[in-house]
Structure 1
């Protein structure tokens, strides 16, 4: 049986997860989707699109989709769904997991890698994070869960942008991109998002195309190069000497979730790199939210693609370096208070 693609939908309370989910479920796309909700609360999918099956935690929707709540834990629920699909009792093509607004998506993502049975049935496609444009800044200031949700994201949707002025929206986008430069940010209006931007993003796919972020290997357009220091609560803009910065309100955020990029034009020593990455993951794994890279390893004529979540790390051979292509390694790390200098110096010592 082909692996079932799974999408994690996260975002702080009131960010519009249910609105987006409802739109995805009711759109005439012909796909059968199983939705797993952390709980059926007041905010759950409207009852008018639910056909309740008394006493069962799996609910059949009248458009052929199914909806269920997490009964014991996510693993059990996923396992139940896959088993029912195998037996022909349920028909669905993909799974969407809607987390509670206070959830950390990390353990949810790890379920797909740490459990062999789940890994044999499902393929984690991506983590989508919704951010409420009106309350986002305050939530990011106050709540680490909100910051972590940004750090884990493969795609970020900004909701309620009609409730705030353009400058505030741009400021929030700028802040979010500082925290996670690898996730595209897109404004959404009442959950209206093309399905192509919700499903099959391959954010966790180690395939060579890196199609989740085609700009990943291009020059950064957000000044996230590793010669910038993101650690002092100020941003880096191009100003003439003495010129006033026109973003004064951007200087107050010193988020604990930050990103930095390592680039090298020298080949990396595979054994040294493996030792170093193994060591930092042992020490900082819980604080390493997402990390991803394209590597030029000595002795390989192919790109090596690697990525990880917390302590889980994997790599895969990508395509061959094209004739005349500059062999540059580039890695992005997103995490909570990671010691940037330790990472960058360590990686520099892995160069041949």
Structure 2
């Protein structure tokens, strides 16, 4: 019976790790497979969906890319995820493989559990959970929690009543993985790669392959066809949130900045760096119009690391309105960030 099920690959990973780039690479190298994508947004603007839809891949048309923008996918299983999955399965030509890109703040285990829901249990299976890790960020210690240091800090500061929320999210994604992609390995030294790989290995409770990558370039046969049946293997995927019915994202905040046209991409990048340096910004991602350019600029930032590229031409009659999603820890100064970036 499991052989008749449509395999699904869950792509998880922290903010800016490169999940969308990886999924786009899968679509562009589908090898004739009929694919579908469910992409989850943290916020109400479909940035990731727009990136994927601009691929123009025949085996994954735009109507096979479903965006869920009503909050974290692991918190809206009944209302959003299950109906979206059923809608894809009920298509006249259902997909042969479904790729699910979670938001950077999602815990993957509740989503894996959802595959046991009666409405979909007989129709789909989790082929594998792929965790994308920003190797350069982890090497710099951004999400590498030291339990002893945290314990000392908690003992000294009575206001701390829980562990680092970012570290828990990061570890939960690794703990659930069937494959770990160490992305941005080209930005790391050999020693740093070895150190992060060792750190990931110590986090994992079981043997999981770690694959180095640059810009999400991983052979599709490495990503698809893992045959993990993860929904039947929940016990080997521990979680920091095991005893919680669901989790919330009260430690994070997100908002959207409407952007004017910019004279150059460097002007925008410089402003984003300044905002990240002066405020607690984790992630920025969006589109912008560069004056005099016929193509739309895709811009992404993780901390002070900013990347940008022209991804497609503006469509005829399309409003050249830039938008940027900004994600950070609760309490950052929205007005100040907006003023720094939009001017």
What range describes the TM-score normalised by the shorter chain of this pair? Answer: 0.5 to 0.7
Cα distance in 1 between the residues matched to 2:183 and 2:77: 27
Q: What number of residue pairs does the alignment pair up?
A: 206
Shift of 1:198: 0.8
Preserved contact between residue 36 and residue 60 of structure 2 (Cα < 8 Å): no
Shift of 1:48: 6.2
CA distance 1:17–1:205, shift in 2 (3 Å) = closer
CA distance 1:35–1:83, shift in 2 (3 Å) = closer
Which residue of structure 2 aligns with residue 82 of structure 1?
86
Shift of 1:70: 2.1
CA distance 1:45–1:197, shift in 2 (3 Å) = farther
CA distance 1:196–1:334, shift in 2 (3 Å) = same
Q: Does 1:24 align with 2:22?
A: no
Shift of 1:49: 2.3
Match of 2:51 among 38, 46, 54: 46
Cα distance in 2 between the residues matched to 1:98 and 1:48: 14
Which residue of structure 2 aligns with residue 182 of structure 1?
207
Shift of 1:91: 3.4
Q: How does 1:1-352 map to 2 (within 5 A)?
A: 2-39=4-41, 41-46=46-51, 49=54, 62-65=58-61, 66-70=64-68, 73-75=76-78, 76-83=80-87, 85-86=89-90, 88=92, 90-113=93-116, 115-136=117-138, 137-141=141-145, 142=164, 143=166, 144-180=168-204, 181-204=206-229, 308-309=233-234, 334-336=238-240
Cα distance in 2 between the residues matched to 1:152 and 1:133: 18
CA distance 1:46–1:116, shift in 2 (3 Å) = same
CA distance 1:127–1:87, shift in 2 (3 Å) = closer
Q: Which of the pair has the greater relative contact order for Cα pairs under 8 Å at 6+ separation?
A: 2
Instruction: Could you tell me which runs of 5 or more consecutive residues in structure 2 were left unpaired when the two chains were aligned.
Output: 71-75, 146-163, 243-343
CA distance 1:44–1:85, shift in 2 (3 Å) = closer
C-alpha RMSD of the superposition: 2.8
Instruction: Could you tell me which runs of 5 or more consecutive residues in structure 1 were left unpaired when the two chains were aligned.
Output: 52-60, 207-306, 314-331, 339-352
Cα shift readout 1:176-204 (whole Å, capped 9, x = no counterpart): 00111421101012111111211110222
Cα shift readout 1:124-153 (whole Å, capped 9, x = no counterpart): 111100111111242232521011111111
After TM superposition, the score normalised by the length of structure 1 is 0.53
Which residue of structure 1 aligns with residue 259 of structure 2?
none
